[in-house]
A and B are shown apart, each in its own frame.
Chain A
Amino acid sequence: MKMSMRHIVIGLGVAAMCGAGVFWLGLINVGASTGHWALTDWLLHTAMRRSVQFRADTLPPEDFASEAMIRRGAAHFETGCAPCHGSPGAPRGAVVRAMTPEPPDLLDQVDQWTAADLFWIVKHGVKFTGMPAWPAPGRDDEVWSMVAFLKFMPSLDAQGYHGLAYGAEKIPNGRQRVLSVTANPALADCVRCHGLDGRGDGNGAFPRLDIQDEAYLHDALQAYAGGHRFSGIMQEATAGLDGETLAILAAYFAQQSVGKPFATAQEPLEAERLQRGKIIAMRGLPDNNVASCAGCHDRTGTQSRSQFPRLSGQYRTYIETQLRLFSTNTKRGGGPFANIMRQSSHALEDADIEAVAAWYAMQTPNP
């Protein structure tokens, strides 16, 4: 039989109608109980691997795999990832194992991917798998922390993991953290990272809260909880907390006694940089339209508004990260006064950000 154009058109029409029939009649089984066919599984999986490898092109930051990044990643892994993927401390539960596809146990997975691959997966998530994207699209710094931890995770046992995720490790002054003192689950969650005394870990993984005023902490918590300040970690940590709880948390950390700065004497090479930082802090860079930090922050005499955060004694890395987020002028969000910082810092260059952050990290906080 000779195939004519007519036969082809009729054939295609019948095939299309069969396809539409399968679709409309509900013949496709979406039940997760049966899993995928081996072929479907192979197709989806291969598409995923190729897609990730094709797109992963971001280089890790300079401090990648630092102690602070691993600690920050671990603490959020426990909140955001372990419920599905399990952790060195606890295997996956029966419920998540009944998902299709099953969320993989990551211990034997992470070595199959490069850091850039993992960054892409954690940042963007994977369609049709239940793997979510990072909730704050502008917070690559947080995503890299997670990747740093993922790469570190296979070397951890249950106890080591617990120490990183819950902060049960020794902190610099040698005290053990005691979790049982608080019965408030929201506060217990804060304390995992920021410490009972609000001073963080001493390594800059988490910002110090002990130096801050209650009004600022309350504004910041409300901004996170209300989705106005963007952070995959803090938006998750504050999700669902009511106004009363946020106020209690702010009051708790504002009441903690103010500790000394963790940053100590810098190398002699840094002296010049610190001097530059001091000039920016106290005078600004008028020629570049950078206002002096001290005009708003940590004023002596007439004190700054209590809604303005304090910077003296804050961790260098935290100040740097926040200034970078502000100066890129997008995706940082913040409390009611955040627009002032966006306007004041957009002209700051990277070297200046490092200088001013290093200087503030060494200042003694006001009690």
Chain B
Amino acid sequence: MHDTKPEITISFGPCLPIAAMGLLLSGCVGRQSALAPAGHDAEQISNLFWVMTAGVSIIWALVLGTALAATLGLFKNPTRLTPNILIVGGGVVFPTVILGILLIFGLRLLPNWQSEPDRLQIHVHGEQWWWRVAYRAPDQIEPVISANEIHLPAGQAVEFVLTSADVIHSFWIPSIGGKLDMIPGRTTRLLLEATRPGVYRGVCAEYCGTSHAKMAFAVVVHEPKEFNAWLEDRTSDPNIGTDDPGRKIFLSSGCAACHRIRGLTEIGSVGPDLSHIGSRRTIGAGIAENTPKNLARWITDPAQMKPAVQMPAYRALPPEDIAAIARFLSNLN
């Protein structure tokens, strides 16, 4: 006796295009997409992209349609479309007009570079493989030093001053704008205006060495009021637990030789500033979530997370000391 099982056939055929489309579209949403703009520049680039795509599609259809019609012999009595009209019209007049329109359209997108002294300036210094960040508001005496995370006010143009310490990097926040190269020995400037509050992701867009792919940063766009409060908070020292055991270990183990913590140690500036590191979203320049566990992993062997990184491994420290440092850093905000 045979059991008659219902036969199930699974066909992956129809799924494939859907899956492929899903993959393609997943790139168009979220925190790092030039097609989901959250900034003035990104919006213009996105518009330009769609206009170009539409125009290209129309021209493509026209050219192929004409070719197809000619092949199929639909132009049997070309009384009105003489070859001369086709050649002069399609080969000279049409491209000149279209390219002329595109040129004007493109030139109109160039940023307005009239200097305005009361703009917020953010100095971003690219280094292998992280970002040194300094905020300079017009009325501010000392810049606010930070690293690997950029905060912006929505609806306000911000001037980015871009430099590089070693090789050519490129500064790009796909959702907001850019990209612009950071060239050793030169200063490049970029004017960006974020429009939509949220958290985005910026990257280095120019191959810059072994860990180029691990050189990113979080971008947080605030409502202007919220941003001012944030910047105000950053002009003061972080809360440092005076009897935190990790504080003593941080200082005695030599972390301060490279890293500054406002109000605690000012001698080191080779590595990223760690004042307020507890409030950052990521560690290692956008490569891992900022948790005590990841911090401990990073301190133990940074090169395992970011190959060829400058920071030496602190494997020789007892694990409980590393955990204490990680906890101490997580509380700095």
Contacts and interface: CB of A to CB of B under 8 A. Distances in A.
B197 interface: no
B165 A287 contact: yes
B253 interface: yes
A40 to B, nearest CB: 53
Contacts of B270: 284, 286, 289-291
Contacts of A107: none
A284 B312 contact: no
Interface string B264-279: 0001111000000000
A303 B270 CA distance: 21
Contacts of A293: 257
Interface string B147-165: 0000000000000000001
B310 interface: yes
A182 interface: no
A344 interface: yes
Contacts of A289: 270, 310
A304 B269 contact: no
A291 B252 contact: no
Interface string B198-234: 0000000000000000000000000000000000000
Interface in A310-358: 335-337, 339-340, 342-344
A344 B254 CA distance: 11
B253 A305 contact: yes
Contacts of B248: 302
Number of contact residues on A: which range applies? 20 to 34
Given A295-B257, A339-B313, A283 B252 contact: no
B316 A304 contact: no
Number of contact residues on B: which range applies? 20 to 34
Given A284-B257, A284-B269, A294-B257, A302 B312 contact: no
Nearest to A296: B254
A363 interface: no
B28 interface: no
Contacts, number: 66
B168 interface: no
Contacts of A287: 165
Contact of B312 (A286, A290, A305, A343): A343
Interface string B224-267: 00000000000000000000000010011111111000000001
B312 A303 contact: no
B167 interface: no
Nearest to A303: B252
A53 interface: no
Interface string A270-300: 0000000000001110110111111110010
A344 B312 contact: yes
Given A291-B268, A294-B267, A302-B248, A342 B312 contact: yes
B36 interface: no
Given A291-B258, A295-B258, A339-B313, 10 more contacts: A287-B165, A291-B268, A294-B267, A295-B254, A296-B253, A302-B248, A302-B251, A302-B252, A305-B252, A339-B315
- Listed from nearest, the 3 A-B pairs whose CB atoms lie closest are A295-B257, A296-B254, A336-B316
